[in-house]
Amino acid sequence: MLLIPISSSSSVLPQSFFNSTSSYSSNHHSLFLSNLSYPIPHGSRKLKTLRLRANFWESIRSGFVKNNNSTQLVEPPSIVDDEEEPLLPVEFTLVERTLQDGLIEEIIFSSGGEIDVYDLQGLCDKVGWPRRPLVKLAAALKNSYMVATLHSVMKSSSVSDSGSSGDNGEQQQEKKLIGMARATSDHAFNATIWDVLVDPEYQGQGLGKALVEKLVRALLQRDIGNISLFADSQVVDFYQNLGFEADPEGIKGMFWYPK
């Protein structure tokens, strides 16, 4: 078992395509988050909402100023402590239901912790993704800005009622990875969501939507307003219903391939 701890302090790995580059064909679309008002639990909600509705490249250009056909870098105001606060892991129950056999199933969302790359590889197999080296899977996870997961936890009703956390209770619980999404970022302006996948047995229950929404809200809480992703043609509508749009202001996603 190879467990990969998710560290918020890890540097972002550029070009770390979780999927093999050959899978990114003309059938993939670049989608960008815009015209959306996700709830922000902290202050300055109005500012964050307006920033999403502003010109797409405004936050990127805001660090530069043109002067007589030349471009100068505008230094940000100095601050005493410019270290980024660590991302605190979040974990809560999305769904709880009683199955016909009497077992209780909980669907747990988590934005931190450890991921077994063998479990992740098995999940990728279920959705039909091509296999990739485990070392690269581990590197992609380690260098991601955020990693969100969904786990199914099965337990007997007696364990749930007693709230036992002892050995007997743990033996009656079964935990299974059923979903994941991750994001890379420059920790300031931009983030890209990658590898949104849900176990086919759990698709059609709104779990993929919940996974993306929770990830987007977490990025907005970090004041990252330019959020993009790449989508297969058959799931473009799914992401558009979540507030993403293709080619905002005529901007095109472009790819370079070795020839």
* Catalytic residue annotation: 239
- Give the residues across from 115 on adjacent strands: 4
Please state, in angstroms and rounded to a whole number, the distance separating the CA atoms of residues 64 and 41.
31
Nearest Cα residue to 40 out of 171, 225, 252: 225
**What would the two tokens of residue 210 be?**
């919940």
- SS3 letters for the chain? CCEEECCCCCCCCCCCCCCCHHHCCCCEEEEEECCCCCCCCCCCHHHHHHHHHCCCCHHHHCCEEEECCEEEECCCCCCCCCCCCCCCCCEEEEEEEECCCCCEEEEEEECCCEEEHHHHHHHHHHCCCCCCCHHHHHHHHHCCCEEEEEEEEEECHHHHHHCCCCHHHHHCCEEEEEEEEEEEECCCCEEEEEEEEECHHHCCCCHHHHHHHHHHHHHHHCCCCEEEEEEEHHHHHHHHCCCEEECHHHCCCCCCCCC
